[in-house]
Chain A
Amino acid sequence: KSNQKVIQKHSLISPTSKGDKILLHFINQSGVKITTSVTEGASLLEVVINKNLDISGFGACEGTLACSTCHLIFDENVYKNLEPIADEELDMLDLAYGLTKTSRLGCQVCVQKWMDGMTVRVPRDVKDLRNVKESAENQ
């Protein structure tokens, strides 16, 4: 279970550290684009929390694969180069609202240099629909 990381609040990222080389764009649930610059290594969930980005209700379980509120949508060309998805991530991702073919959980994706300039999107509503009726209708 090396993929499970609890967020480290005093982390690899501080708001004003030198050597930030990787530019990331987040589009939040209101369609607002937020740009931030980070060093590699932290998960995208840690980026959102530690940089205090304006995304409501992100990461309820704090990166322990017990919810799907850090669901992010990637561009196809980024998605196909991400580390393979494990069963435990898929179990939670499958309950996420607005699931797409290029969706992943932010707590399981770590920033790497080649991601410089990428844009990730939060679905319009951040939901975890562990109500099978509703999620089936949304497939």
Chain B
Amino acid sequence: MTCLIKGCNFVLRNIPHEVFAYQKDSDTEFRFQTNHPNIFPYLLVNIGSGVSIVKVESEDKFEWIGGSSIGGGTFWGLGALLTKTKKFDELLQLASKGQHTNVDMLVKDVYGGAYQTLGLSGNLIASSFGKSTTADKEFSKEDMAKSLLHMISNDIGQLACLHAKLHNLDKIYFGGFFIRGHPVTMRTITYSINFFSKGEVQALFLRHEGYLGAIGAFLKGAEQDNPNQYSWGENYAGSSGLMSTSPDVYPMQRTRSGTFDMLEMDRLERPLVNLPLLKDPSTYIPDTVDLTDDAMARKYWLTCFEEALDGVAKRAAASQPDSVDAQERAEKFRQKYWNKLQTLRQQPFAYGTLTVRSLLDTREHCLNEFNFPDPYSKVKQKENGIALKCFQSVIESLDSLGWEERQFALVKGLLAGNVFDWGAKAVSDVLESEPQFGFEEAKSKLQERPWLEDSYSQWLERLKEGPPHKCALIFADNSGIDIILGVFPFVRELLSRGTEVILACNSGPALNDVTYSESLIVTERIAAMDPVIHSALRDEKLLLVQTGSSSPCLDLSRLDQGLAVLVRERQTDLVVIEGMGRAIHTNYYAVLRCESLKLAVIKNSWLADRLGGKIFSVIFKYEVPCK
């Protein structure tokens, strides 16, 4: 039991799309829930051979409050006796094809219709297996299995609701092998909870429900290591996704992995927490578009990633010219990611809510698996070198401008710099074909105002009228021109106004995004050239931190704890998020407690079209918290 709870707490805390509700009739059956920052208290109903009901109040405080002997073992045992089926999965299969109304006595069989006075529908089951007494014919295996499934699911649901009511809980997590992602079981349990609680209690399922005990046992064994000091992430490369157990569906998956599902988790060296500036962490969803929900968007993005795959694999191989097996590994990577994409085509919910972020992250995980931790490493170095050479002249030309002109030039610089993104196919095509395409050209080609999203005037107004911000937190995007010629001049201006700056970069590489360790080197080089940056570093007005992320996107609920602490200490009152990955694919609708700037150039025509513009449209969102 302890292991089960430890395991449950662990997955609830560390796997963002662990929990889902099942809705039979909606377009996407699986509706994933964000994990609230505070997961306690909750009711865990574990359905194994029998049923255990546990109330979990904190990491160490949990209580077995009840149980039932009518569980998975009953289904299997009675099912085997009645239908002569030996395997559990086969029983479920039979159940999915049966009509329980042939076996059960319904309210309408007793009343001839509904039981009006009590509002009991005629289709409700009055007595499970109640028809047996009067029928002269034999029942089919399918019908009996279905009836048995309903009987057991309804009973468990009812008992769970009674316990939830007694303890004032409105969320029940169901775990255990009885459920196994099988739609019929989830449907009956969801229905049962809905019915018996009159819609007040929510039935929730866990993607990794079969693993809770094992994970808990592992954690207990690793207790000396104190696993809770770390944060964990799901490794999409190593994990198999949520699968239905029906063998006739997804035969491809079946033959590959047999009945053994996989879960691989990465242990991150540092704990991850919420950004303190989020307005409401419990409702924060990083992703802008839910691809599990939005079929058209899903089709587009899956195709997009499929089409880009060859280029990514080539680049990966090319990044390790001295390696003998780079080609081979790149091919394996390509194959693996391709299969993942195909799985997601069939089962969009396999890894939780499908988003552009999850597609990007999966790709990164797959690259890592085949030893391509940083395919853009050399490209980044080269571009940093080029950009550093231009730094001083860019600063000089900015300094020569009037104040208002300079503000606009700085913003254009940020935007133009953001164009240099190898992650976007449209851009990488240009960069491949025109190596001379430079910063100036990018600036001049920038969309004319009014931009697609344009609150620049309000931002300018704020700078003019308001006091300097106390401290700004900037989430950087790309290496090279972006960070050096776009971000740093902007940072410099803020510092000159008296605003402290926290520059946050990725903990691990992703595409050509700048990493924390790279940012240290770049900053040192710039400090050597520029006194403003130099003194800011020295006086700790310019601070460099890692985000805790290794993704091209940004999840503000899973940030490095050090960053969060610093944000609080320095009373950050401005957050700047740049780039498509961090400001558009994620966080476009994020609500913060302080002022924020979200800037990006849209480098994908489909996305631009979606948002109402053309490719290379500019997004400049300046937001102020509402009172």
State whether these chains interact: no
Instruction: Report A's interface with B, CB cutoff 8 A.
Output: none
